[in-house]
């Protein structure tokens, strides 16, 4: 058992003061800063951020007990970490060149931020709020999502935990949300926590493993929200949900997240605790706490680092054996319920597609991909993290990582060359055990930025990369080798519609584009898909970026919404991922207006009938329709005569604007009809010989697709009747 570090004496402080390569004023300012995380007024407890300079990146394995951030300045050769005075002196004694970074220290402790922008006050969700959001989204989208309790957190398995400070943690279920359209065959089968894999490709996204990295659950939630809200509206979102499974775990370490929240709760009521690890403080189950540090500090705390606890490559170097260290790996591989449950879930979802030897590559047609979100340092990391040796699939792992980095503008690299060595990490486990490409995104520039940065920067930066991951999930090692499709547009209102798209290989090897093709309603991998070639707009396939064009013959397509699937091929014979666009073939939409008199006279009542008929094959067609009939000055409607489908509707007439307006919404199968009838009186002053023209308009949407505005006109001539004159007639007997 490790005890908390003791207060440093004044003499020790003076010795340390003389050792520091910074001015006395700066040291005094840092020493005066109280550790908001630990709540300790002793100067020796005040943490600060340091730059630790190195000569060779391999040397960083000697820093496994230091809270190194996921940041490595490769140009100046330093890493960032948090320590306090005693740790600072120890680093110097070990021969490290250490410099306090006062700017990073200010940022780390959120100094200068208004309270409204600090963590949780600014909008970050607590575990309870995250889980409530998941439950609401699942219940609102039953046909597209399923909430899966795949395990229990450490505290839940122990029927609750008590922190060294006496706080009670009840624990949480471990929740994943599966997003897919179950009406499309191939979905996995869920039975409680057990999952039997289906045939759909899987993109697995997880966040919140290191609980102080609270931006990452928010990114995961935004992906969920976009996929569910965009289904049926955006073509790419729709096909990704139809033909893939997207699994999202927003909070892989909920107990740790609760500890982060605790720092802002009574009696602490300060800054969030910088808890990185889970809440296990009795790893060997001897009834005694492994680490007595409380509250958790930014450099020393109890718990197990879940991203050093996985069963592939577990152990030193790259992790610590000290329970108070930030990278404590646990007593054994996959010792933590959070780790074991995650591995079980992933093994249920993904087939093992790689051989047993370290140098066995996964096959080119491997299906599935995993991304784990962390913060910070703007990196895309790929295996191996536990070795400088290249992974057997390094070329394709790197290509996918580089592709992600082309979207978020991060550095794509193998951790041992751009960060530091790590062991027992989930991305190494997923690739090593299952063969799927697995990545860590280190997002942003700090653990807890102002909440506004999520939507202003972090989500916009990373959204395209996450969508790309879902697009290539069917065959990531192959799809990344082919060109992308962008700017897909389908336009035109005649019997043929025009397709335009950009095929771009500039970030996939910069090969010339040699072909592009599309299918309608059936993607290329499905039986029955008919691929139709597109042509280069400039007449030749000879560059890495080509605009292609073609036409769609609508004559054999049923009315309604259709999906265009399109992909491109480069000179290396590689087809890239699919993109999609919606287009609509109008059904029969007939609209007519009829005056039931062939002529009228001043003061006469003229009956009018307006009929709208819609034919669109299929069940449950949703419609929103508006009919507006504006009467000319020569006519005035009789409100009591207005009827819609045989029902009196006098309130529809607006005499001030001389309009009759009908709004109708509902659902129909195959066909639907609306009939509007009314009487209109001809103004007495209307001159004979005039023609009263009366025009009505219909517009609306069918299944969300707009229908062109349609008009119908009725014309009635006005005549003057002349009274008959009778003359006497002689009748011959």
Last residue of one domain, picked from the residues 477, 494, 520 = 477
Q: Do 80 and 212 fall into the same domain?
A: no
Q: Do 693 and 662 fall into the same domain?
A: yes
Please state, in angstroms and rounded to a whole number, the distance separating the CA atoms of residues 35 and 32: 9
Q: Do 510 and 524 fall into the same domain?
A: yes
pLDDT at residue 80, as a whole number: 83
Please state, in angstroms and rounded to a whole number, the distance separating the CA atoms of residues 176 and 191: 13
pLDDT, average across residues 502-512: 94
Q: Do 472 and 548 fall into the same domain?
A: no
Q: Do 276 and 345 fall into the same domain?
A: yes
Please state, in angstroms and rounded to a whole number, the distance separating the CA atoms of residues 591 and 711: 7
Q: Do 596 and 575 fall into the same domain?
A: no
The 3-state secondary structure of 120-158 reads CCCCCCCHHHHHHHHHHHHHHCCCCEEEEEEEECHHHHC
* pLDDT over 60 (residue 393): yes
Q: Which of 171, 134, 195 is nearest to 336 (CA)?
A: 171
Q: Do 443 and 532 fall into the same domain?
A: no
Question: What tokens appear for 479 in the block?
Answer: 């799809």
Note the pTM of the prediction, 2 decimals: 0.76
Question: Is-contact 62 54, C-beta < 8 A?
Answer: no
Q: Does residue 302 fall inside a structural domain? A: yes
Q: Which of 83, 86, 125, 129 is nearest to 104 (CA)?
A: 83
Q: Do 263 and 407 fall into the same domain?
A: yes
* pLDDT over 60 (residue 725): no
* pLDDT over 50 (residue 474): yes
Q: Do 424 and 504 fall into the same domain?
A: no
- How many alpha carbons lie under 13 Å from residue 216 in its C-beta half-sphere? 32
Q: Tell me the per-residue pLDDT of 109-149, one tens digit each, with 9 for 90 and over.
A: 666 556 555 556 578 999 999 999 999 999 999 999 999 99
**Maximum CA extent, the chain:** 154
The percent of residues above 70 in pLDDT, for the chain, comes to: 88
Phi and psi dihedrals of 34, rounded to 5? Answer: -85, 145
The more confident residue out of 698 and 40 is: 698
Question: Is-contact 268 39, C-beta < 8 A?
Answer: yes
Strand ranges for 443-528 from DSSP E: 484-491, 496-504, 513-520
Q: Do 444 and 519 fall into the same domain?
A: no
Question: Is-contact 559 617, C-beta < 8 A?
Answer: yes
Q: Does residue 17 fall inside a structural domain? A: yes
Q: Which of 482, 484, 488 is nearest to 549 (CA)?
A: 488
Q: Does residue 116 fall inside a structural domain? A: no
> Residue 131 sits in a domain of what CATH number?
3.40.630.10
Q: Does residue 594 fall inside a structural domain? A: yes
* pLDDT over 90 (residue 700): no
Please state, in angstroms and rounded to a whole number, the distance separating the CA atoms of residues 298 and 40: 13
Q: What is the mean pLDDT of the chain?
A: 88
Question: What tokens appear for 361 in the block?
Answer: 């590559």
Q: Does residue 2 fall inside a structural domain? A: no
Q: Does residue 359 fall inside a structural domain? A: yes
Q: Do 152 and 210 fall into the same domain?
A: yes
Q: For the CA atoms of 650, 653, 654, 655, what is the dihedral angle to 10 degrees?
A: -90
Question: What tokens appear for 505 in the block?
Answer: 């290989």
The percent of residues above 90 in pLDDT, for the chain, comes to: 67
Please state, in angstroms and rounded to a whole number, the distance separating the CA atoms of residues 225 and 628: 37
The more confident residue out of 487 and 723 is: 487
What number of other Cβ atoms are within 10 A of residue 601's Cβ? 15
Q: Do 463 and 365 fall into the same domain?
A: yes
> Residue 608 sits in a domain of what CATH number?
2.60.40.740
Please state, in angstroms and rounded to a whole number, the distance separating the CA atoms of residues 283 and 373: 26
pLDDT, average across residues 433-454: 94
Q: Does residue 726 fall inside a structural domain? A: no
Last residue of one domain, picked from the residues 453, 477, 501 = 477
Question: What tokens appear for 350 in the block?
Answer: 């993904």
Q: Which domain holds residue 45?
A: 10-109
How many structural domains are present in the chain? Answer: 4
Question: What tokens appear for 389 in the block?
Answer: 């040796």
Question: Is-contact 490 497, C-beta < 8 A?
Answer: yes
> Residue 64 sits in a domain of what CATH number?
3.30.70
Q: Does residue 730 fall inside a structural domain? A: no
Of 37-51, 88-102, 642-656, the one with minimum mean pLDDT is 37-51
Please state, in angstroms and rounded to a whole number, the distance separating the CA atoms of residues 670 and 621: 8
pLDDT, average across residues 589-593: 85
Last residue of one domain, picked from the residues 445, 477, 509 = 477
Cα angle 660-665-667, degrees, rounded to a multiple of 5: 145
């Amino acid at each position: 058992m490790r005890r908390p570090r003791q207060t440093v004496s004044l003499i020790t402080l003076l010795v340390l003061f003389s050792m520091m390569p910074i001015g006395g004023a700066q040291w005094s300012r840092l020493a005066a800063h109280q550790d908001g995380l630990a709540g300790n007024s002793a100067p020796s407890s005040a943490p600060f951020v340091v730059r630790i300079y190195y000569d060779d990146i391999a040397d960083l394995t000697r820093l496994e007990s230091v809270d190194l951030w996921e940041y490595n300045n490769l140009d100046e050769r330093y890493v960032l970490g948090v320590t306090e005075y005693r740790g600072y002196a120890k680093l110097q004694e070990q021969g490290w060149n250490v410099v306090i970074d006062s700017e990073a220290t200010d940022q780390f402790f959120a100094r200068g931020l208004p309270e409204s922008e600090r963590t949780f006050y600014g909008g970050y969700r607590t575990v309870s709020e995250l889980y409530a959001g998941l439950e609401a989204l699942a219940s609102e989208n039953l046909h597209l999502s399923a909430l899966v309790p795949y395990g229990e957190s450490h505290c839940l398995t122990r029927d609750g935990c008590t922190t060294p400070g006496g706080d009670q943690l009840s624990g949480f279920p471990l929740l994943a949300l599966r997003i897919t359209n179950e009406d499309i065959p191939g979905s996995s089968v869920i039975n409680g926590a057990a999952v039997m894999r289906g045939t759909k490709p899987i993109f697995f996204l997880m966040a919140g493993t290191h609980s102080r990295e609270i931006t990452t659950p928010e990114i995961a939630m935004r992906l969920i929200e976009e996929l569910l809200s965009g289904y049926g509206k955006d073509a790419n979102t729709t096909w990704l949900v139809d033909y893939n499974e997207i699994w999202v775990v927003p909070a892989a370490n909920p107990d740790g997240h609760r500890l982060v929240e605790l720092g802002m709760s009574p009696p602490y009521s300060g800054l969030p605790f910088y808890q990185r690890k889970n809440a296990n403080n009795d790893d060997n189950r001897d009834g005694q706490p492994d680490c007595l540090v409380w509250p958790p500090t930014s450099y020393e705390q109890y718990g197990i680092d879940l991203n050093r606890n996985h069963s592939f490559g577990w152990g030193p170097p790259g992790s610590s054996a000290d329970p108070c260290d930030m990278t404590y790996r646990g007593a054994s591989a996959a010792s933590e319920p959070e780790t074991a449950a995650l591995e079980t879930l992933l093994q249920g979802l993904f087939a093992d597609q790689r051989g047993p030897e370290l140098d066995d590559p996964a096959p080119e047609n491997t299906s599935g991909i995993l991304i784990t979100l962390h913060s910070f340092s703007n990196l895309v990391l790929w295996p191996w993290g536990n070795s400088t040796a290249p992974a057997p699939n390094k070329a394709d792992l790197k290509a996918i990582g580089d592709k992600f980095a082309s979207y978020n503008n991060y550095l794509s690299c193998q951790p041992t060359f751009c960060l530091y060595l790590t062991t027992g990490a989930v991305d190494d486990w997923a690739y090593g055990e299952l063969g799927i490409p697995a990545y860590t995104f280190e997002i942003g520039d700090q653990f807890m930025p102002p909440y506004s940065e999520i939507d202003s920067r972090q989500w916009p930066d990373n959204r395209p990369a996450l969508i790309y991951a879902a697009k290539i999930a069917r065959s990531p090692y192959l799809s990344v080798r082919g060109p992308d499709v962008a700017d897909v547009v389908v336009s035109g209102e005649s019997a043929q519609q025009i397709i335009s798209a950009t095929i771009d290989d500039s970030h996939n090897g910069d090969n010339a584009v040699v072909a592009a093709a599309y299918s309608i309603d059936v993607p290329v991998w499905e039986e029955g898909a008919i691929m139709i070639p597109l042509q280069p707009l400039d007449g030749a396939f000879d560059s890495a970026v080509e605009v292609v064009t073609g036409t769609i013959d609508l004559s054999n397509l049923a009315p309604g919404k259709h999906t265009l699937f399109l992909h491109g091929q480069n000179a290396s014979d590689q087809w890239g991922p699919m993109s999609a666009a919606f287009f609509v073939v109008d059904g029969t939409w007939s609209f007519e207006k009829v005056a039931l008199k062939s002529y009228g006279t001043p003061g006469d009542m003229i009956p009018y009938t307006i009929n709208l008929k819609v034919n669109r094959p299929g069940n449950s067609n949703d419609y929103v329709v508006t009919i507006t009939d504006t009467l000319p000055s020569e006519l005035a409607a009789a409100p009591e005569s207005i009827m819609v489908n045989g029902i009196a509707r006098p309130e529809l007439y607006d005499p001030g604007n001389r309009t009759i307006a009908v709004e109708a919404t509902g659902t129909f199968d195959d066909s639907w009809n609306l009939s509007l009838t009314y009487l209109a009186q001809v103004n007495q002053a209307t001159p004979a010989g005039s023609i009263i023209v009366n025009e009505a308009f219909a517009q609306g949407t069918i299944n969300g697709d707009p229908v062109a505005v349609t008009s119908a006109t009725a014309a009635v001539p006005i005549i003057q009747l002349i009274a008959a004159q009778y003359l006497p007639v002689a009748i011959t007997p």
